[in-house]
Each structure stands twice: as structure tokens, then as C-alpha cells.
Amino acid sequence: MVFGSDCMPFSPLYGMHSAVNAPHKAQRISALEALAAYTREAAYASFEESVKGTITVGKLADFAVLSSDPIAEPQGISSIAVVKTVVGGQVVFDGAKKRSSRGSAR
């Protein structure tokens, strides 16, 4: 199973929240299944499982650091914030740093 959306907002966390906390119990999946749908399973679906989808030695270092654990607190997934984003081993977003109106770190 792979998740994605063409509807605003594009946040995977909102998609995870909806799948885990669906109104009807029979429609819900676990937070771990939802996380896999956006990571490991998405990489598999795009034939990129050898380079991304899991945090494994030799794969691209693309990941997000979250403000809390979506597996431990599935009811609050939609309120989790992205604290940091790393792409190719480089920090591309650091929520701890303030941004000026031009987008550069202060």
C-alpha cells in the first residue's frame, strides 16, 4: 500500500492521521502501516527501494525529524511538527533556526 495526495495540504502527516484515525474502525490502519506507506512502500512502488525508503547504510540520507513519535501517539499525528529535514545527508530545513523574510537563516 502506498499513500499520496493531490489535495491540499500535501503533508504526509495529515494523510497518516486520516488513515490511522478514520471515522470507522474497519477503515483504520496502524500508525506503523501508515508510516511504511509513505516511506518503504513508496520507494518500492517507484522502483527505488535500493536507494531510499528506509534508514539503511548505503541508502540516501533523506529523512525528517519530528516533534514527537507518531507510532507512540497516533491520535495526535496531525499536530506533529517537522523539526528538521535532511536530504542527501544535508540539512535543508531546520525549524530551530529563524528565517528572515528572504528565506535565509539568521
Return the pLDDT at 2.
76
Q: Give the separation between CA 36 and CA 1, rounded to whole angstroms.
A: 8
Per-residue pLDDT of 13-71, as tens digits, reads 999 999 999 999 999 999 999 999 999 999 999 999 999 999 999 999 899 999 999 99
User: Measured at the alpha carbon of residue 39, what is the angle toward residues 33 and 41, in degrees to the nearest 5?
Assistant: 70
pLDDT of residue 3: 75
